[in-house]
């Protein structure tokens, strides 16, 4: 009897852990391709299924627009089958030039319209509502006020394509100090002013809290002030850009704040794994369990 009781304890614990892994998270945390590759295998469809089996209800794939059309369709079908919400894919981001804040000529506007027409078709196939837009680099020979005006003009052109399709461009401010020096869009307050000027349901903000912690901090107060323009969140701890609990950001408090605000968008897991292999992948899941337990 004692032996059976002794053996039953770890079995019960394992069963409880398995049940915990199947339980859905409170927020739509979105893993990305290859985050769980060791555990789930190389196939992105298997990775989606693995993520769903471990309670995740979001997904994001920055490079979805570069995948073959048939694979895009299969991804959309897999997400629907597993009850998951597709997050962002990147439709416009060129870190090597300042055209977006410099040019507003007809040829460039036609180029932007074509890019968004392609994005609309990708969104239909993968079931996406949001797509990431990064408004290129700064032009150090042009006053910042003119650059902002040009950015607003070009975003309005892109909205001509996105609005009828219901696709929402989410502008992503990126930090200068650790990753992307010289890009035009750096902070949520800056993006908020631009979105107010564009004044379109198809132009909103992607608030990547890793980038914002580095560039300006004040994470929750800035979300509060810009909340009506933020439909999408990404996370990663700092320093290191790994899963929550590995750095200085109090993600349990942030996730509780998002939950209390009834946030229904995807929380993109835009970070690496702190440790390699299956152990590291299970540690990522455990970190989200811990931070989701508020």
pLDDT digits (tens, 9 = 90+) for 117-151: 999 999 999 999 999 999 999 999 999 999 999 99
- pLDDT for the residue 21: 67
Name the residue with higher pLDDT: 71 or 5: 71
Burial class (CB in 10 A: 0-12, 13-18, 19+), 1: exposed
- pLDDT for the residue 22: 81
pLDDT at 41 over 50: yes
The fraction of the chain above a pLDDT of 70, given in percent, is 93
Mean residue pLDDT of the chain comes to 94
Name the residue with higher pLDDT: 6 or 269: 269
Q: Which CATH number fits domain 26-292: 3.40.50.10420, 3.30.70.260, 3.20.20.150, 3.30.1450.10?
A: 3.20.20.150
The fraction of the chain above a pLDDT of 90, given in percent, is 93
pLDDT digits (tens, 9 = 90+) for 76-131: 999 999 999 999 999 999 999 999 999 999 999 999 999 999 999 999 999 999 99
Residue carrying the six token digits 């994005």: 119
The residue ranges of every structural domain in the chain are 26-292
Q: What is the mean pLDDT of residues 172-186?
A: 98
- The residues near 37 (Cβ < 8 Å, ≥ 6 apart) are 47
Q: What is the mean pLDDT of residues 187-213?
A: 98
């Amino acid at each position: 009897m004692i032996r059976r009781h002794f053996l039953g304890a770890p079995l019960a614990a394992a069963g409880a852990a398995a049940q915990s892994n199947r339980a859905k998270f409170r927020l739509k945390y979105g893993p990305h391709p290859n985050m769980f590759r060791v555990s789930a295998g190389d196939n992105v469809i298997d990775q989606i299924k693995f993520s769903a089996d471990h309670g995740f209800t979001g997904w994001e794939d920055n490079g979805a627009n570069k995948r073959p059309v048939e694979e895009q369709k299969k991804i959309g079908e897999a997400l629907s089958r597993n009850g998951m919400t597709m997050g962002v894919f990147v439709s416009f981001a060129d870190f090597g030039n300042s055209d977006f804040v410099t040019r507003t000529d007809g040829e460039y506007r036609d180029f932007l319209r074509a890019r968004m027409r392609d994005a609309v078709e990708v969104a239909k196939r993968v079931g996406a509502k949001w797509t990431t837009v990064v408004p290129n680099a700064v032009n150090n020979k042009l006053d910042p006020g003119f650059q902002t005006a040009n950015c607003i003009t070009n975003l309005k052109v892109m909205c001509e394509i996105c609005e009828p399709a219901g696709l929402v461009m989410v502008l992503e401010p990126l930090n200068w100090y650790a990753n992307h020096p010289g890009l035009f869009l750096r902070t949520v307050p800056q993006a908020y002013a631009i979105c107010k000027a564009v004044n379109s349901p198809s132009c909103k903000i992607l608030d990547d809290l890793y980038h914002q912690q580095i560039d300006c901090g004040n994470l929750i107060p800035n979300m509060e002030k810009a909340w009506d323009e933020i439909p999408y969140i990404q996370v990663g701890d700092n320093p290191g850009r790994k899963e929550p609990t590995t750095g200085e950001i109090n993600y349990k408090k942030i996730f509780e704040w998002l939950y209390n605000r009834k946030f229904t968008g995807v929380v993109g897991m835009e970070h690496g794994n702190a440790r390699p292999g299956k152990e590291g992948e299970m540690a990522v899941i455990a970190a989200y369990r811990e931070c989701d337990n508020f």
